[in-house]
């Protein structure tokens, strides 16, 4: 289930190899370029969709889909054996021990065929603790200290890029969920060093899949509201139901909280008033007691996320 992986291998890991003299011959000839960076020559090129940058001291490989490099597209998902094969393929092509290379970016991803249009699922994804949420027409981003989560319409993205879509996905609703680790991987993943060889080590690989699933699970989900008057036996429940109905009308919990924040910025609400209103919204959205029911779309997605990590182990 890995996709984009960036590697860096240094002269210390490969003694006796002149990067600038030996590496360019293995790159695609029509992609080669020579640049000057702070007085240092740098050769750039591509390797079946992966970008390669070479100087005297290090080689950087990545900024492209490792899955596409090995399997031809990234609608498919890489299992542990595929990851090992991809690392070995780069090693054989560049004559470098990529199992020793440092990993500087790591994306875990899957394409999930869902029953409803992708926008239905995006609208039910709420807030996530310690992450900022950004919703765009066809995607939702969650940005945190250690990683970024991204949910989007994979088929629409492929069509916008004018890239081919495998037949099995062409008429399907495809929700792509990615978790991206782009900096300080050792700290984020709690390992001394992330290397090419570690990517296909069983314990590490399973831990990555579990992190991907747990990150999804930590997102609050917006339930569907049911006007169940038999369950409303107190005025407090009636008030909460009114808040829930209003939240539903404006587009969900996130949209309501954003409106409150906008009103605070315009000076229409004090800090205390905005806080109280946010709490009222959050409290109302948490209630159960027969006033809400789980979203059928989220129940479906929960099951498919759990199924994905079982399948790719």
Q: Please name the residue that has the structure tokens 């792509």.
A: 176
Q: Which two tokens stand for residue 264?
A: 């605070």
Which of 30, 31, 105, 23 minimizes the C-alpha distance to 64?
A: 105
- Are both 172 and 232 inside the same structural domain? no
State the pLDDT at residue 177: 98
CA distances from residue 14 to 10, 11, 58, 198 in whole angstroms, order as listed: 7, 5, 9, 18
In terms of Cα–Cα distance, which of 101, 109, 69 is closest to 85? 69
* Euclidean distance between CA atoms 309 and 35, whole angstroms: 43
The answer to whether the Cα torsion of 67, 68, 72, 77 is positive or negative is: positive
Q: pTM score, two decimals?
A: 0.83
Percentages (nearest 5) of helix, strand, coil residues in the chain? 45, 25, 30
Beta-strand pair 50-54/40-47:
antiparallel
pLDDT at 292: 65
* Residue 119 and residue 66 in one domain: yes
60 and 131 part of one domain:
yes
Of the residues 177, 205, 220, which one is the last residue of a structural domain?
220
Residue 307 maps to a domain: no
Residues 6 or more apart in contact with residue 146 via CB below 8 angstroms: 181, 184, 187, 188
Are residues 60 and 171 part of one domain?
Answer: yes
Looking at the domain assignment, is residue 46 inside a domain?
Answer: yes
Task: Note the residue count of the chain.
Answer: 313
Instruction: Give residue 289's pLDDT.
Output: 55
Q: Identify each DSSP E strand in 130-281 by its residue range.
A: 132-136, 139-143, 148-153, 173-181, 219-221, 224-225
Same domain, 158 and 274: no
Structure token pair of residue 266: 């315009």
> 148 in a domain, yes or no?
yes
In a domain, 240, yes or no: yes
Residue 126 maps to a domain = yes
Each residue's pLDDT, cut to its tens digit, for the chain (313 residues) gives 899 999 999 999 998 899 999 999 999 999 999 999 888 999 999 999 999 999 999 999 999 999 999 999 999 989 999 999 999 999 999 999 999 999 999 999 999 999 999 999 998 898 888 899 998 889 999 999 999 999 999 999 999 999 999 999 989 999 999 999 999 999 999 999 999 999 999 999 999 999 999 999 999 887 666 656 666 778 887 788 788 778 766 767 888 898 999 999 999 999 999 999 999 988 887 765 566 667 899 999 999 999 999 876 6
The answer as to whether 311 is a domain residue is no
Domain match, 129 and 174 both: yes
Name beta bridge partners: 78. 2
Residue 63 inside a domain? The answer is yes
| Residues 109 and 29 grouped into a single domain | yes
Of 220, 236, 252, which residue constitutes the final position of a domain? 220
Q: How far apart are CA 177 and CA 41, in angstroms?
A: 39
Q: Is 165 helix (H, G, I), strand (E, B) or coil?
A: coil
pLDDT of residue 225: 60
Structural domain total, the chain: 2
Please report the DSSP string for 93-137 in residue order.
HHTS-GGGSEEEEEEEEEEEEESS-HHHHHHTEEEETT-EEEEET
Query: Residue 160, Cβ neighbours under 10 Å: how many?
Result: 10
Q: Residue 313's pLDDT is what?
A: 61
> How many whole angstroms separate alpha carbon 296 and alpha carbon 121?
10
Do 116 and 245 fall into the same domain? no
Expressed as residue numbers, the domain containing 110 is 2-220
Q: Are residues 121 and 209 in the same domain?
A: yes
Indicate if 216 and 229 belong to the same structural domain: no
* Residue 238 belongs to some domain of the structure: yes
């Amino acid at each position: 289930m890995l996709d984009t992986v960036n590697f860096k291998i240094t002269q210390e890991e490969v003694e006796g190899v002149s990067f600038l003299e030996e590496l360019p011959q293995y790159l695609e000839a029509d992609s080669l370029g020579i640049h000057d960076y702070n007085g240092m020559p740098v050769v750039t090129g591509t390797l079946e969709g992966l970008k390669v940058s070479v100087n005297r001291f290090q080689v950087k490989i990545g900024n492209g889909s490792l899955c596409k490099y090995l399997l031809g597209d990234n609608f498919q998902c890489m299992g542990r054996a595929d990851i090992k094969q991809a690392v070995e393929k780069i090693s054989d092509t560049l004559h470098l021990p990529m199992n020793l290379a440092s990993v500087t970016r790591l994306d875990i991803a899957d394409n999930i065929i869902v029953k409803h249009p992708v926008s239905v699922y995006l609208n039910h994804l709420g807030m996530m603790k310690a992450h900022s949420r950004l919703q765009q027409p066809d995607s939702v981003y969650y940005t945190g200290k250690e990683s970024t989560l991204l949910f989007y319409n994979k088929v629409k993205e492929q069509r916008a890029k004018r890239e081919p879509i495998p037949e099995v996905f062409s008429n399907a609703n495809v929700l792509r969920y990615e978790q991206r680790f782009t900096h300080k991987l050792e700290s984020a993943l709690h390992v001394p060093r992330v290397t090419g060889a570690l990517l296909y080590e069983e314990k590490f690989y399973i831990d990555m899949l579990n992190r991907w699933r747990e990150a999804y699970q930590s997102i609050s989900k917006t339930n569907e509201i049911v006007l169940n008057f038999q369950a409303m036996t107190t005025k407090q429940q009636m008030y909460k139901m009114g808040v829930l109905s209003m939240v539903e009308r404006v587009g969900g919990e996130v949209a309501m909280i954003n409106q409150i924040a906008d009103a605070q910025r315009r000076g229409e609400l004090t800090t205390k008033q905005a806080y109280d209103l946010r709490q009222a919204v959050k409290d109302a959205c948490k209630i159960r007691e027969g006033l809400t029911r789980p979203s059928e779309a989220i129940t479906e997605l929960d099951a498919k996320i759990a199924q994905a990590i079982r399948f790719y182990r």
